[in-house]
């Protein structure tokens, strides 16, 4: 490092604004190790407490992007637009959205993550597809992208390595919940994908990373401003995560829901969020300026089999077994499936996504420790959603578990997470705000 780190850390501690050069210097120290763990922790805490200006956040994002390899896809002539979600429960949107907008002419170079805490991750869902590979080399990723319009891969260690060290330090130092640090962490990795534009799905509600609407809105505005300052087209939707998305929660169960959705059998909320994000992607790509026309086009591509065709093409290119499209049994099944009967007649008064996400993790469908293996087959499938009328003993949900004991324990918790009341409750709008 050129400057003494303690001086830069103290400057931020005292509320000062770091220059782009000072930030680059700190990030250089993160990558070459000359910034020690104690210094990194202290700097992150200073940022967390004092915040960053828009210029500082943009400089941090670019320095983190440039800490590793920045991909280019010059051989792809289509507009390259990605979507990123801040994470939720039952959120399998990417699996439908990428092939849908690819069918409309967008190129989607999607680098996805594993599940984090109670939220699911696209990589874990894809791992339940027999044969499907996400450990693609940069060259293979580029080929798949050019051939079918989208590719889905695990993050490579070459992309934004500064983020890997910073994220691990944030995780153990109480500095995750900082808007500039989240913004730079997400965008540095996305900018390194070589995209022209990005649509952010910022979740808010109980199972969201930033539950309160005000904080999620702040994050959404920061992401849009910094992405634009970094030179890409940006749009963002604030979407509801106060209830799960779709009916299936758990990796293979969610993929089964996606396979059904390819043929038109899709829960209304999942369809709505997918189309809303797809409209934004088509607009950012410059393929359709009018939102209503973009939606009609996507609906048609969904209906006429184009979505299924592109999904299948990608499945083959990434090593997946296409027989799974017609034989969902190839996804595997948990040995114990238990139905949870409603304790009384009435209306479903709540479907708590945080508790249900934790139930899935405890069934083995997510990780408690980073090295934990994930059981793809377990999870919960909702039979009723918020506001539905239910008769006594009618199933509220099904638990898919590895053992009878695990199924019983999960069933008790699902019952508490889905209380039945006297009055019909309604979900708030799925798309709460838009920026871009
Ligand atoms: N996802 C990321 O990649 N980084 C964060 O800081 C938060 C969510």
Does 185 contact ligand 1 (Cβ within 6 A)? yes
In tens, the pLDDT along 291-318 reads 999 999 999 999 999 999 999 999 999 9
255 in a structural domain: yes
Neighbours of 80 (CB within 10 A): 22
- Read off the CATH number of the domain in which 26 is found: 1.20.970.10
Spatial distance between the Cα atoms of 364 and 374, rounded to a whole number of angstroms: 6
Using the predicted structure, report yes or no on whether residue 48 has a pLDDT greater than 80. Answer: yes
Using the predicted structure, report yes or no on whether residue 362 has a pLDDT greater than 80. Answer: yes
340 and 304 in a common domain: no
Rounded to an integer, the average pLDDT of 222-245 is: 97
Spatial distance between the Cα atoms of 101 and 307, rounded to a whole number of angstroms: 8
pLDDT at residue 177, as a whole number? 87
109 and 86 in a common domain: yes
- Out of 325, 348, 366, a domain closes at 325
Rounded to an integer, the average pLDDT of 86-104 is: 97
Using the predicted structure, report yes or no on whether residue 2 has a pLDDT greater than 80. Answer: no
379 and 292 in a common domain: no
247 and 216 in a common domain: yes
87 and 34 in a common domain: no
- Read off the CATH number of the domain in which 390 is found: 3.90.1170.30
Active site residue ranges: 82-85, 122, 170, 185, 189-190
In tens, the pLDDT along 149-196 reads 999 999 899 999 999 999 989 988 999 889 999 999 999 999 999 999
User: Measured at the alpha carbon of residue 124, what is the angle toward residues 300 and 117, in degrees to the nearest 5?
Assistant: 115
67 in a structural domain: no
435 in a structural domain: no
pLDDT at residue 380, as a whole number? 98
207 in a structural domain: yes
196 and 236 in a common domain: yes
Query: In percent, how much of the chain has pLDDT > 70?
Result: 100
Q: Where are the alpha helices (DSSP H) in 304-390?
A: 306-317, 353-360
Tell which atom from ligand 1 comes closest to the C-alpha of 185. Answer: 4
226 and 105 in a common domain: yes
Confidence band for 119, pLDDT divided at 50, 70 and 90:
confident
212 and 181 in a common domain: yes
Are the C-beta atoms of residues 271 and 113 closer than 8 Å to each other? no
Does 30 contact ligand 1 (Cβ within 6 A)? no
431 in a structural domain: no
Spatial distance between the Cα atoms of 391 and 345, rounded to a whole number of angstroms: 4
Mean of per-residue pLDDT scores for the chain: 96
- Out of 51, 71, 89, a domain closes at 51
Does 8 contact ligand 1 (Cβ within 6 A)? no
20-51 burial, b at 16+ Cβ within 10 Å, e below that, comes to eebbbbbbbbbbeeebeeebbbbbbbbbbebe
DSSP 128-147: TSTT------HHHHHHHHHH
351 and 286 in a common domain: no
353 and 305 in a common domain: no
β-strand 108-111 against 150-153: which pairing, if any?
Answer: parallel
Rounded to an integer, the average pLDDT of 48-61 is: 97
CA of 67 to the centre of ligand 1 (A): 17
372 in a structural domain: yes
345 and 286 in a common domain: no
Q: How many domains, the chain?
A: 3
Nearest CA to ligand 1 atom 2: 186
Tell which atom from ligand 1 comes closest to the C-alpha of 182. Answer: 6
Does 39 contact ligand 1 (Cβ within 6 A)? no
Q: Which residue has the higher pLDDT, 114 or 191?
A: 191
- Read off the CATH number of the domain in which 169 is found: 3.40.1030.10
Does 182 contact ligand 1 (Cβ within 6 A)? yes
69 in a structural domain: no
Confidence band for 114, pLDDT divided at 50, 70 and 90:
confident
Report the predicted TM-score, pTM, of the whole model to 2 decimal places. Answer: 0.96
Q: What does the block give as tokens for 346?
A: 């009435």
pLDDT at residue 116, as a whole number? 80
pLDDT at residue 117, as a whole number? 85
Using the predicted structure, report yes or no on whether residue 115 has a pLDDT greater than 90. Answer: no
- The boundaries of the domain holding residue 293 are 81-325
113 and 215 in a common domain: yes
Rounded to an integer, the average pLDDT of 400-419 is: 98
71 in a structural domain: no
Nearest CA to ligand 1 atom 3: 186
Using the predicted structure, report yes or no on whether residue 3 has a pLDDT greater than 90. Answer: no
């Amino acid at each position: 490092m050129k400057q003494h780190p303690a001086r830069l850390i103290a400057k931020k501690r005292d509320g000062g604004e770091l220059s782009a050069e000072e930030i680059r210097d700190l990030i250089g120290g993160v990558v070459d190790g000359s910034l020690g763990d104690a210094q990194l922790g202290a700097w992150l805490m200073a940022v967390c407490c004092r915040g960053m200006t828009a210029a500082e956040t943009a400089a941090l994002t670019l320095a983190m992007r440039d800490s590793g390899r920045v991909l280019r896809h010059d051989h792809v002539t289509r507009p390259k637009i990605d979507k990123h979600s801040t994470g939720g429960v039952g959120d399998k949107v990417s699996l439908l959205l990428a092939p849908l907008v690819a069918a409309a002419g967008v190129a989607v170079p999607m680098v996805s993550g594993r599940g984090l805490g109670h939220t699911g991750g696209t990589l874990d869902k894809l791992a339940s597809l027999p044969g499907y590979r996400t450990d693609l080399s940069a060259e293979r990723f580029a080929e798949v992208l050019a051939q079918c319009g989208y590719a889905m891969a695990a993050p490579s260690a070459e992309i934004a390595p500064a983020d890997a060290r910073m994220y691990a330090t944030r995780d153990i130092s109480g500095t995750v919940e900082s808007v500039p640090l989240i913004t730079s962490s997400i965008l540095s990795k996305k900018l390194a994908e070589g995209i022209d534009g990005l649509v952010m799905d910022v979740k808010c509600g109980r199972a969201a990373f930033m539950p309160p609407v005000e904080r999620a809105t702040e994050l959404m505005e920061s992401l849009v401003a910094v992405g634009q300052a970094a030179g890409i087209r940006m749009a963002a939707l604030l979407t509801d995560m106060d209830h799960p998305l779709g009916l299936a929660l758990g990796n293979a169960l969610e993929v089964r829901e996606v396979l059904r959705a390819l043929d038109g059998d899709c829960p209304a909320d999942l369809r709505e969020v997918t189309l809303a994000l797809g409209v934004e992607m088509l607009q950012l790509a410059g393929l359709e300026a009018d939102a209503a026309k973009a939606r009609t086009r996507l609906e048609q591509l969904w209906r006429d089999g184009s979505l299924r065709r592109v999904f299948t093409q990608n499945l083959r290119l990434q090593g997946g077994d296409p027989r799974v499209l017609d034989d969902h049994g190839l996804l595997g099944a948990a040995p114990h499936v238990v139905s949870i009967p409603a304790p009384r007649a009435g209306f479903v008064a709540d479907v708590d996504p945080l508790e249900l996400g934790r139930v899935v993790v405890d069934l083995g469908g997510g990780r408690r420790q980073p090295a934990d293996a994930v059981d793809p087959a377990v999870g919960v499938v909702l039979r009723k959603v918020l506001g539905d009328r239910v008769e006594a003993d009618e199933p509220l949900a099904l638990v898919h578990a590895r053992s009878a004991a695990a199924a019983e324990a999960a069933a008790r918790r699902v019952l508490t997470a889905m209380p039945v009341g006297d009055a019909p409750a309604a979900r708030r709008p799925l798309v709460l705000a838009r920026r871009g």
